[in-house]
Structure 1
Amino acid sequence: MKNKFRNSESTIKAGDIILTEQPFVYVLSSKEKGIRCDNCLERGKVLKCSGCQFVHYCGRSCQKDAWVDHKWECANLKKVAPKVIPDAARMLAKIINKLCRGDGYSYRAFYSATSFRMWKDLMSHYPDLKADAKRMEHFTSLYEVLFEFLKDLSLPNNVELMGLYGRMIINSFTLLDNDMNSIGTAIYLASSIVDHSCNPNAVATFDGKTINIRAITDMPYLDWNQIRISYIDLMKTPYERQTELLENYYFLCQCDRCMDETQLKMVHGAKCLNSECNNSVTIPWKADCSLVRRPEERFENGHEFNARCNIVDALPRDDSIRCGECGTKFTDKHIEIFVKTMEFTELHLQNMKGASVAYVDVCKYCLERQEGVLHPLNVMHAQTLDHAFDALIMVQLWEKACEYAERLIPCFRFYYGERHPLLGLLYLKYGKILLYKRNLQKALLQLKCAEKIIKITHGDKHPLYREYLLPLLGQAMIESS
């Protein structure tokens, strides 16, 4: 297991790799079972392990490479068959095995020439776990599975096992494929040094099970105390992002982006009634509609925030609602339309969350109601466009997909920033559709935009860049000349 790191004294440019690392432990998602190789994570033809009949490999080389780690698991999976072990239980079992039988306790993952992380350096948040009823219920269910699964290993005592569980859930990375879809979970010891920001200066991308941390801004030198990636999806309100981070990582984010007044104004904004004004107007649309959390207390050391916080409602309370730029007044009728549109959109976004079917008609109806009512950068409008774009691709309605992609790009740039993998992927998908539709000049423009971003976020050696983007870009250049 080797990792590569950047010299901390050299100048860092956007696109530079600052850390490359192999996982300490990892698990392919059960939903990818039989579709991807459990070793290299490549999608394609795979064959079952002849022993456990549970894991799959793309060939003898991967099976041989995985055998050292899979040998103990193979026998245990065979014993409990046909029961299916949950992904989290498999992950925790792999951690226990590595710590008990291998070099797990002594292994050092370097992120500089002299600095490294070990398993014991990962935070477990034990007190937070004890107070989290949902997590405790999950832990109890995993304990019962492990008790049956690990017949050949002694389980740690309850306190130690909860410490392992805490380190696992707090420090896990979601493995992503080229389309930024989740395909598994992994723990990287060195990469766990990187903290979160909703306005990151670095990004984590994956080439199979290898993680690459790349800078997306120029830096005079590498300071690990200042490197930030995003732990979560950013196309949400600051309050939603803060809540997700509190619930999953037990800290209150107060980055500049969460506190940014411009974003607070946009996320639930109405479109100004004046067609010549592009301003976002804030209108109260439901009780206690909080847009941001602000801390009430600090711990004595002044560095961490108490999870208790004062929830600030950023919406105005006066009866007269006017545009702050042009002064256009909203009547009660206009306010009622806005409120009903937001309620309608919120309901359908909840229904679409996590669904695998294409809600083309629902998205179209939502967007029709939003037209002229919600500001183009309103987060609910952006999320609806995102759902609609994916749904239209699924059912191959290319013309409408192009229309929505044009409207979605400014939303992605606002919520994700100018150098984010999802923005690069959006340009890539849009360019591919335009190329198929023979709109060659526009396709070339979008693919060039994708190339600028993906070269920074993934690098020119990544399969997404080399095997997928470059052929499309070359085809567009040849056919448009």
Structure 2
Amino acid sequence: MKNKFRNNNSAIKAGDLILTEQPFTFVLSSKEKGSRCDNCLEKGKVLKCSGCQFVHYCGRTCQKDAWPDHKWECVNLKRVSPKVIPDAARMLAKIINKLSRGDGHSYRAFYSGTSFRMWKDLMSHYSDLKADMKRMDHFTSLCGTLHEFLKDLSLPNTVELMGLYGRMIINSFTILDIDMNSIGTGVYLAASILDHSCSPNAVATFDGKTINIRATKDMTYLDWSQIRISYIDLMKTAYERQTELLDNYYFLCQCDRCLDDAQNKMMHAAECLNTDCDNPVSIPWKENCQLVKRLEISEVKSYDSTIQTHSNDDSEVKIGGLVNENVTEDVVRCNECGTKYTEKHVEQFIKTMEFTELHLQNMKEASVAYVDVCKYCLERQEGVLHPLNVLHAQTLDHAFDALIQVQLWQNACMYAEKLLPCFRFYYGDRHPLLGLLHLKYGKILLYKMNLNEALEQFKLAEKILKITHGDKHPLYREQLVPLLRQAMIESNQ
């Protein structure tokens, strides 16, 4: 279980690989059971383990490689069959086994020539967990499952077990496939040193179960205390990002992007009625709608480096944590061109936002996007929501994926064009999801024989994915490069 790291402090260029690591422990998601190998996580033809009949391997090599960790689990999985052990319980069981029977307590994961992380170095947030009823309910449920599953292994006491649980949930990475879909969960000790920022300077990608950390911005030298990745999806308002981070990682992000008023005003903005003006117009659309939470000086805590002080002036009228510059004497107007909004325009905006929010939530709960619903939402949003409004961007994202599923290529192209500026705004110019969007758009254009346009999209994808994934990654080498060559040949370039 070796990891590789940047072994000098020379200047860092965007795209430089600064850490490669194998997981301390990991599990393949149960939804991928039978379609991926439980060891290398590759998708393809797999065969069941003859013992437990639960895990699958792509061949003898992976089966042999996994056996030292699987042999104890194999007996227990067979005994509780046909009951399926939840992923979190299976992961926690693997951690307990590794710490009690293997080298878990002594294993060191180096991120420099002299610096390393061990299991005990991971934060458990024990006191935060005890106060979190939702997490405590989950923990109690896992304890019951573990008592049934691990008959051959003595469980730690409740306090120790909660510490293990806390370290697992706080420090786990979601393992992603080449399309950035979740396929598993892993704990990576060295990579756990990385803090969060909503404007990161590095990115974590995966090649199977191997995590790769690459710089996405130039840096004068490697300083691990300044390397930041994003823990969450960034296509959300600052308040939603802050809430998710607080709920899952127990800190309130106060990074520069979260406190950027110019960007926050865009999140729930209306489009200016003046077609020659692209200024975002803020319209209050629901009670207590917050776009960002700022800490008072008295609230500042020292436990996390991402928290910064910020003073509020109580004399200012705030809506959603922002000064509402567009509302004066109960009249909404654009503060750039002065265009005034009637009560009818305001009511139309409010209803459109409410309608969109409701349907986005329904699609999220259903885990599927509906073409007709997306299309209707987008029709209602036209000329009402600002093109970078977060609900508009999320609707476009759902619509694009849904149209690909039903192979409506022309409409998918139309939405991809509108989605690209949204991805740049929310994810930045060097994010894997933006690179994938260019790649998907290029594939559609190539299929439609729009060769020059396809080539342009593949070149844009190449610039990004070479930085985020590197030129040895299967996504770059096996998918992008052949398509790029095909487009160049067929377009005679």
TM-score range, shorter chain: over 0.9
Cα offset, 1:261, TM superposition = 1.1
Matched with 2:203 is 203
Aligned partner (choices 410, 415, 437) of residue 448 of structure 2: 437
Matched with 1:450 is 461
Alignment-mate amino acid for residue 100 of structure 1: S
Alignment-mate amino acid for residue 32 of structure 1: E
| d(CA) in 1 for partners of 2:9, 2:303 | 30
Matched with 1:361 is 372
Contact 1:139-1:162 at 8 Å conserved across structures: yes
| d(CA) in 2 for partners of 1:55, 1:300 | 44
Question: Helix, strand or coil: the match of 2:170?
Answer: helix
Question: Helix, strand or coil: the match of 2:331?
Answer: coil
Alignment-mate amino acid for residue 298 of structure 1: V
| d(CA) in 1 for partners of 2:226, 2:485 | 38
Contact 1:283-1:315 at 8 Å conserved across structures: no
Matched with 2:300 is 298
Deviation string for 1:377-399 (max 9, x for gaps)? Answer: 00000000000000000000000
Cα offset, 1:31, TM superposition = 0.1
Cα offset, 1:355, TM superposition = 2.8
Deviation string for 1:36-82 (max 9, x for gaps)? Answer: 00000000000000000000000011000000000000001011111
Alignment-mate amino acid for residue 372 of structure 2: D
Cα offset, 1:122, TM superposition = 0.1
1:50 aligns with 2:50: yes
Please list, as runs of the form range in 1=range in 2, the aligned pairs for 1:4-403 lying within 5 A after superposition: 4-296=4-296, 297-299=299-301, 312-314=320-322, 316=324, 318=328, 319-403=330-414
Alignment-mate amino acid for residue 376 of structure 1: P
Question: Helix, strand or coil: the match of 1:183?
Answer: strand
Cα offset, 1:166, TM superposition = 0.1
Alignment-mate amino acid for residue 154 of structure 2: S
Matched with 1:424 is 435
Contact 1:421-1:454 at 8 Å conserved across structures: yes
Alignment-mate amino acid for residue 16 of structure 1: D
| d(CA) in 2 for partners of 1:472, 1:161 | 50
| d(CA) in 2 for partners of 1:256, 1:462 | 32
Aligned partner (choices 419, 428, 438) of residue 408 of structure 1: 419
> Compared with structure 1, are the counterparts of its residues 16 and 305 closer, same or farther at alpha carbon in structure 2 (3 Å cutoff)?
closer
**TM-score normalised by L of structure 1:** 0.98
Deviation string for 1:202-244 (max 9, x for gaps)? Answer: 0000000000000000111100000000000000000000000
Question: Helix, strand or coil: the match of 1:18?
Answer: strand
Matched with 2:485 is 474
Cα offset, 1:275, TM superposition = 0.6
Structure 1 unaligned residues grouped into runs of 5+: none
Question: Helix, strand or coil: the match of 2:204?
Answer: strand
Contact 2:253-2:306 at 8 Å conserved across structures: no
> Compared with structure 1, are the counterparts of its residues 27 and 458 closer, same or farther at alpha carbon in structure 2 (3 Å cutoff)?
same
> Compared with structure 1, are the counterparts of its residues 331 and 312 closer, same or farther at alpha carbon in structure 2 (3 Å cutoff)?
closer
Matched with 2:316 is none
Cα offset, 1:299, TM superposition = 3.0
| d(CA) in 2 for partners of 1:171, 1:379 | 28
Alignment-mate amino acid for residue 459 of structure 1: G
| d(CA) in 2 for partners of 1:382, 1:245 | 21
Cα offset, 1:315, TM superposition = 6.2
| d(CA) in 1 for partners of 2:399, 2:278 | 24
Alignment-mate amino acid for residue 299 of structure 1: K
Alignment-mate amino acid for residue 124 of structure 2: S
> Compared with structure 1, are the counterparts of its residues 236 and 358 closer, same or farther at alpha carbon in structure 2 (3 Å cutoff)?
closer
Cα offset, 1:324, TM superposition = 1.2
Contact 2:254-2:306 at 8 Å conserved across structures: no
| d(CA) in 2 for partners of 1:269, 1:398 | 30
| d(CA) in 2 for partners of 1:304, 1:447 | 36
Question: Helix, strand or coil: the match of 1:88?
Answer: helix
Cα offset, 1:152, TM superposition = 0.9
Alignment-mate amino acid for residue 143 of structure 1: C
Contact 2:272-2:280 at 8 Å conserved across structures: yes
Question: Helix, strand or coil: the match of 2:425?
Answer: helix
Aligned Cα root-mean-square deviation (Å): 1.5
Contact 1:203-1:216 at 8 Å conserved across structures: yes
| d(CA) in 1 for partners of 2:172, 2:90 | 13
Cα offset, 1:314, TM superposition = 2.5
Among all aligned residue pairs of Structure 1 and Structure 2, give the percentage whose two residues are the same amino acid.
Answer: 79
Cα offset, 1:421, TM superposition = 0.2
Deviation string for 1:146-169 (max 9, x for gaps)? Answer: 001001110000000000000000
| d(CA) in 1 for partners of 2:468, 2:365 | 26
| d(CA) in 2 for partners of 1:8, 1:269 | 46
Cα offset, 1:134, TM superposition = 0.1
Contact 2:5-2:110 at 8 Å conserved across structures: yes
> Compared with structure 1, are the counterparts of its residues 334 and 396 closer, same or farther at alpha carbon in structure 2 (3 Å cutoff)?
same
Cα offset, 1:356, TM superposition = 4.0
Aligned residues: 479
Cα offset, 1:358, TM superposition = 3.9
Question: Helix, strand or coil: the match of 2:293?
Answer: strand
**TM-score normalised by L of structure 2:** 0.95
Contact 1:288-1:313 at 8 Å conserved across structures: no
| d(CA) in 2 for partners of 1:451, 1:242 | 32
Contact 1:99-1:105 at 8 Å conserved across structures: yes
| d(CA) in 2 for partners of 1:87, 1:301 | 30
| d(CA) in 1 for partners of 2:211, 2:72 | 26
Structure 2 unaligned residues grouped into runs of 5+: 313-318
Contact 1:267-1:378 at 8 Å conserved across structures: yes
